[in-house]
Structure formats: structure tokens, C-alpha cells
């Protein structure tokens, strides 16, 4: 099964970059200096943010669908990062050392099935979930914190 894992697009978040604290507060964002590695997963590049760099903690709508599964949660983005991580049939760095929750949705944005996996084993679970023809996409979350990490989609 071919699949693509994508980070968030930077454009909708770029207005936050290099803004003052008042602007960030008005947009429910907080600037933090990264203190440990790994520990601050960037949702744009899908890499852990290096120590000393700046992260923005924001609330992100990870499931915007008009369904009971609508959801938001806090996530980190690397301030200034505009390179969207796109991985074809491969796991991004940010997934490999974490326990993950994989949530498979159909085209109507309803949850079909969910499971957890150690990061390095997630590729097998992605293949298993996509073997169900009803599964349209898989949202991947950090299992411990519950926050959205990235999305996997089928590739034709």
C-alpha cells in the first residue's frame, strides 16, 4: 500500500512568525525556547526542533470536518519553518521515537478504527489500516500527550 505522510502547510501559520507577544496572545499562541531534544515536534517539517530554536505553541484544529469527530489540541510549530515535510512510503523522524495513536477515518470523516504502535512499527499498522478500503486517511497523534502529529493519505 502506497501512502503519503504530510506535515502542515506553513502559509496559514506564517502570520505568527516573528510577531510580538501581544500579537501571539491575541492568536492564542505562546513562544518558547526549545530546551530538550527530542521533545518539541514541529508539525510543519515533521522533525524535532533543535535545542535553542524557537517553537510556537498554538491550538490547532486537526479535524475540521463537520462531524462529531471535530477536534483541536495544542501543537508546536518551529518558528520560521516553511518547508513542509512530505514523506512517501516512509516514516518521518518525528514519528520514530514516540508511541503513536493512529486513527483511521472514512471519506465522511467518521472514525473506522484506531490503534496504537511504537513509532518504528507504525509503518506496519499504516499498511494494515489502509488494507480496509473504507479508510480514506489516518490521523496520527502522540499517544501520551494526545496531540495531533500528522496525517497519512493513500497514494494512487
What's the pLDDT at 1? Answer: 74
Query: For 69-111, how does the pLDDT look when each residue is reduced to its tens digit (9 = 90+)?
Result: 999 999 999 999 999 999 999 999 899 999 999 999 999 999 9
- 48 close to 93: Cβ distance less than 8 angstroms: yes
Helix spans in the chain (H)? 21-26, 93-96, 122-130
Alpha-carbon distance 124 to 107, whole Å?
A: 22
Sign of CA dihedral 91, 95, 98, 99: negative
- pLDDT band of residue 62 (cuts 50, 70, 90) is very high
What's the pLDDT at 133? Answer: 96
The answer to whether the predicted template modeling score (pTM) of the entire model surpasses 0.85 is yes
Q: Exposed (0-12), middle (13-18) or buried (19+): which is 92, by Cβ within 10 Å?
A: buried
Amino acid at each position: 500500500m502506497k501512502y503519503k505522510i504530510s506535515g502542515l502547510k506553513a502559509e496559514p501559520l506564517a502570520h505568527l512568525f516573528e510577531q510580538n507577544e501581544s500579537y501571539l496572545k491575541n492568536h492564542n499562541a505562546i513562544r518558547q525556547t526549545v530546551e530538550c531534544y527530542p521533545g518539541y515536534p514541529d508539525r510543519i517539517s515533521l522533525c524535532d526542533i533543535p535545542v535553542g530554536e524557537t517553537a510556537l505553541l498554538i491550538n490547532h484544529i486537526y479535524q475540521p470536518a463537520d462531524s462529531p469527530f471535530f477536534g483541536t489540541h495544542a501543537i508546536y510549530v518551529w518558528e520560521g519553518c516553511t518547508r513542509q515535510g512530505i514523506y512517501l512510503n516512509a516514516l518521518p523522524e518525528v514519528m520514530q521515537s514516540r508511541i503513536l495513536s493512529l486513527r483511521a477515518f472514512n471519506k465522511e470523516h467518521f472514525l473506522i478504527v484506531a490503534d496504537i504502535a511504537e513509532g518504528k512499527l507504525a509503518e506496519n499498522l499504516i499498511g494494515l489500516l489502509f488494507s480496509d478500503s473504507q479508510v480514506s486517511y489516518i490521523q496520527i497523534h502522540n499517544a501520551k500527550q494526545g496531540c495531533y502529529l500528522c496525517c497519512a493519505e493513500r497514494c494512487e
